[in-house]
Chain A
Amino acid sequence: MINLSRLLNHADNERTVFFLRRHWLTILPLIIGFAIAIVLPFAVYAAILYRTPGFFDDASRFTLFVLAASMFFLYAWLFLFQNFIDWYLDIWIVTDRRIINIEQHGLFGRTVSELMLYNVQDVTSQIKGFVRTVLDYGDIEIQTASERVRFTFDNVAHPNHVAKRILELAAGQRTNPPGNPAT
Chain B
Amino acid sequence: MSIPLGYFLIAWAVLLAVYGILVFLTLVQTLRHGLASPFTYASSFIFIAVIVIVVGGCGILFTNTDWKAEVNVVPSNISSTFFGDMETNALQDLQL
Residues of chain A touching chain B, judged by Cβ–Cβ distance below 8 Å, are 1-4, 48, 51-52, 55, 58-61, 63-64, 66-67, 70-71, 73-75, 77-78, 81-82, 84-85, 88-89, 91, 102, 104, 107-108, 110
Contacts and interface: CB of A to CB of B under 8 A. Distances in A.
14 contacts: A52-B80, A52-B81, A60-B69, A67-B8, A67-B12, A71-B16, A77-B47, A77-B54, A78-B19, A78-B23, A81-B47, A85-B26, A88-B40, A107-B26
Contact of A1 (B9, B33, B54): B33
A26 B76 CA distance: 47
Interface string B37-59: 00010010001001100110110
Contacts of B80: 52
A110 to B, nearest CB: 7
B7 to A, nearest CB: 10
A3 B34 CA distance: 9
Contacts of B62: 63, 66
Nearest to B4: A60
Interface of B: 5, 8-9, 12, 15-16, 19, 22-23, 25-26, 29-36, 40, 43, 47, 50-51, 54-55, 57-58, 61-62, 65-66, 69-73, 75, 77-78, 80-81
Decide if the interface of chain A is mainly helix, strand, loop or mixed.
helix
Nearest to A50: B81
B34 A2 contact: yes
Contact of A60 (B5, B32, B77): B5
A91 B35 contact: yes
Contacts of A78: 19, 22-23, 26
A1 B50 CA distance: 24
Contacts of B5: 60, 63-64
5 nearest interchain CB pairs?
A: A60-B71, A1-B36, A3-B36, A67-B12, A60-B69
A51 B80 CA distance: 9
Contacts of A60: 5, 66, 69-71
Given A81-B47, A82-B26, A110 B36 contact: no
